[in-house]
Chain A
């Protein structure tokens, strides 16, 4: 066991997979000598050389488009997009090509690609460095989307993502890159894609979240003193509805929490599924505590925008009183 931050756990997963499989390579802006702007790829350039850890030209469409080619040729590219706000130019290659190649070719060509992307707010960053666009990608069939909230899950999920035969977007919540440490097994292990983690068991209500919001939920639950079950989805596409329904059928109440805007956020899908699958057990309307339907504000107001323990706490009080 080692006591690691999220950044260090991801770095360790990258090292172990690169050692295990020489088809694995890393590419992106500043990922080489500089070790990435968040230092996630620190030391890898030195260790594996410039053939396997590649500083690319500054072009997100280029990074993903060429990765699609590398992946179709049987390599295992791990592409980094420097911030979620710069996924824009890559959108076409991700959704029009990476996501569809298997289907279009009836499996003749596939894209085992991992796209690592720092995501989310709360770090006082400039414009377009704090957004939460995950639902755009969960809405797109053909992609898997993962967002861990702890170092241990991050390592195991990234290893699963690298070994996955299909494209996986691996969102890294930057707010918790270095916020805390956790004991992480030094040996390689996997955390299955598509399986949620029950962070805390409880009987009064079910809270569903992912990424950095999981930490806000924990804070709210502790403050409330109530017996609340917290589910960290970890994988948001395809998400683990079985764990969610099993829990909500027991508790009869559910709150979904995410940083992304309310409308058409993933919370909408989860709430619909709960309505469909737990209708008879529900004691209250499913609540969503999320970002607002606005552009993510610059950092002076970002804490007004992001769901925090206080707003989650209000929802807890209301849903329990209902």
Chain B
């Protein structure tokens, strides 16, 4: 049997296949469909200090090989996550990454303090790349290198667990952004978040999302994710969780070869909730056929 075990930022995982934030809630729903113990890890929904109602519907639109969403970080708030959501996940043998989002450096730090000390949290994923919440100049936090540094640093100071910084590929200098996060202390990177997009109903002339602009995800964005992982791997040594359009073992392998240490499945779980299971099976088969290779050995092994 091929061994798919990986260790990222000190966290041991049975396999490199995780569920991406915002596409698996807090695990309850998918636990009705398959055994969560089969996953490498789970990255739960973006969590904020206070509960958030989220954006007005319609919040999603289908696009060619992808979708736009503008959920707006609907979540029950950090206290409900700690008291009601994490206890459920603790019954599984499963590393839990909690995705956090704030409006200021101080909020991120407070979230890191509360969640970094909560039982059953393996790591934090710092979302500074959400296209669905408004920041000071209506851009993303990760588009300002000063914010990238300050927020990462603030979270790192408070957190007792490893910190993964989640970035968007929509920044002017991606390599510099990656280096800044790592310089500020990031233990790992999550690449990539959704890309901002828009769709219009030509019959009514109205935008398809109430929020007008939303985040594009799904197979359509895979090449952008591969590029981001490749560029990041060329700059920094920290582990990278690759995501964006992963729907098959082949997609996962492509990310690993580009430089990812693990992968996360997002949108594909919507149309096939068993995607992570079939990816794990596919990876097993791949490494059985190539016994001298392993997940960590093929990392970044692009032949030019």
Q: Do A and B bind each other?
A: no
Q: Which residues of A contact B (CB under 8 A)?
A: none
